Amino acid sequence: MIKIPPYLQKGDTVGLVCPAGYMTLDKVQTCIATLQEWGYKVKVGKTVGGDSQTYFSGTDEERLNDFQLMLDDDEIKTVLCARGGYGMGRIIDKIDFKKFKKQPKWIVGYSDITVLHSHLYSNYYISSLHSPMAGAFNEEGFKNEFVLSLKNALEGKKIKYQCEAHEYNRKGEAVGELVGGNLALLAHLVGTDSDIKTRGKILFIEDVGEYLYNIDRMMHQLKRSGKIARLAGLIFGGFTEVKDTDRPFGNTVLEILKDIVKEYSYPVCFDFPVSHTDRNYALKVGVGYKLKVGKTKVTLEE
């Protein structure tokens, strides 16, 4: 059975860290203030708003050390990654999870943090939270249902989400552990120690800023590696800011996704609110869910 980290209590401390891309300190202020309003203390890592002059929030060693400190700090009960970007794949194999295995805590984030979610699930069978990060709190985002879904998840409230049916949906019901994340990262993790087994699982996938041909290529990579053949169910989230080449690829992103799974019979949901936009529900990776893809609506619940 999946290990569930302890849910947060009032007065617990949330660690804020940038293990991948750089983020300025002013971009996390609303997040910090909101977490405090929720009743939590906040400890900010050195990689948040540091003096890095590159894409990364620090050197590999600096990012590794900062994340390791958060992971091993007994006071910190949840580690919230302020942003994704790129960089987890450069340090994941050097992180020491010995103490974490004995005293798991919630690891929160998405996008590049897919590497962490998959690694924790595959190697230690510990749940984590694929959810909004610090930037989502800005511009009054802290008031929306998606950021609030993070609060509810951290507090241990049972999850039940709904969305409208999509014309490409394949109706049905599925029960299984929920795994997945960013398509690019899932494809890049194939064959590594962070690769996930998907048989009998509910897989969710989203991505941003990719060319149509690259989405097609990565989906075929998942298909060829056996990741989508024996699923219990499949959830396609948002595929946003999609780009095309000068000579058109020939299919829309939805047509690409629909075509790749046409030979299977499990239920499939399109346009579920998990994405690089503000429509991004908090999802507990590794936890058992029930997916119902109906005629007029889709529900996903623990």
Which residues does residue 163 pair with via DSSP β-bridges, in sequence order? Answer: 298
The active-site residue out of 111, 131, 194, 275 is 111
Asked, for residue 59, whether it belongs to a domain, the answer is yes
Q: Are residues 213 and 93 in the same domain?
A: no
Q: Are residues 21 and 149 in the same domain?
A: yes
Buried b (16+ CB within 10 A) or exposed e, 128-154: bbbbbbbbbbeeebbebebbbbbbebb
The active-site residue out of 117, 119, 130, 276 is 276
Q: What is the pLDDT of residues 239-297, one digit of tens each?
A: 999 999 999 999 999 999 999 999 999 999 999 999 999 999 999 999 999 999 999 99
CA–CA distance, 249 with 251 (Å, rounded to integer): 6
For the chain, what is the domain count? 2
Q: Look at residues 91, 85, 97, 80 and name the one whose alpha carbon lies nearest to residue 131.
A: 80
Q: Are residues 279 and 211 in the same domain?
A: yes
* Residue whose entry in the numeric block shows the structure tokens 């503000």: 278
Asked, for residue 3, whether it belongs to a domain, the answer is no
Q: Are residues 194 and 263 in the same domain?
A: yes
The mean predicted confidence, pLDDT, of the chain is 98
Residue that is last in its domain, among 101, 125, 154? 154
DSSP string for residues in 73-108: -TTEEEEEES--SS-HHHHGGG---HHHHHS--EEE
Residue 276 falls in the annotated catalytic set: yes
Q: What is the pLDDT of residues 43-62, one digit of tens each?
A: 999 999 999 999 999 999 99
Q: Are residues 146 and 170 in the same domain?
A: no
Read off the CATH number of the domain in which 129 is found: 3.40.50.10740
Q: How many CA atoms lie within 13 A of 164 on its CB side?
A: 2
pTM metric for this prediction: 0.97
- For residues 85-113, give the mean pLDDT: 98
Q: Are residues 38 and 145 in the same domain?
A: yes
For residue 103, the tally of other CB atoms under 10 A from its CB is: 12
Residue that is last in its domain, among 154, 170, 204? 154
Q: What is the largest CA-CA distance in the chain?
A: 56
Q: Are residues 66 and 23 in the same domain?
A: yes
* pLDDT given at position 142: 96
Asked, for residue 199, whether it belongs to a domain, the answer is yes
Asked, for residue 204, whether it belongs to a domain, the answer is yes
Task: Give the range of the structural domain holding residue 98, as residue numbers without chain letter.
Answer: 13-154
Stated length of the chain: 302
Q: What is the CA radius of gyration of the chain?
A: 18
Q: What is the pLDDT of residues 168-217, one digit of tens each?
A: 999 999 999 999 999 999 999 999 999 999 999 999 999 999 999 999 99
Asked, for residue 4, whether it belongs to a domain, the answer is no
Q: Give the angle subtended at the CA of 94 by the CAs of 88 and 99, to the nearest 5°.
A: 105
Residue that is last in its domain, among 110, 138, 154? 154
Residue 206 falls in the annotated catalytic set: yes
Q: Are residues 168 and 296 in the same domain?
A: yes
Q: Are residues 253 and 128 in the same domain?
A: no
- Lay out the sheet containing 160-164: strands in order across: 160-164, 297-301, 288-293, 172-182, 202-208, 233-240, 268-269
Q: Are residues 86 and 178 in the same domain?
A: no
Asked, for residue 5, whether it belongs to a domain, the answer is no
Asked, for residue 265, whether it belongs to a domain, the answer is yes
Q: Are residues 173 and 228 in the same domain?
A: yes
Q: What is the pLDDT of residues 210-228, one digit of tens each?
A: 999 999 999 999 999 999 9
Query: Which positions ≥6 away from 240 have C-beta within 8 Å?
Result: 207, 208, 209, 275, 276, 277
The active-site residue out of 118, 206, 210, 275 is 206
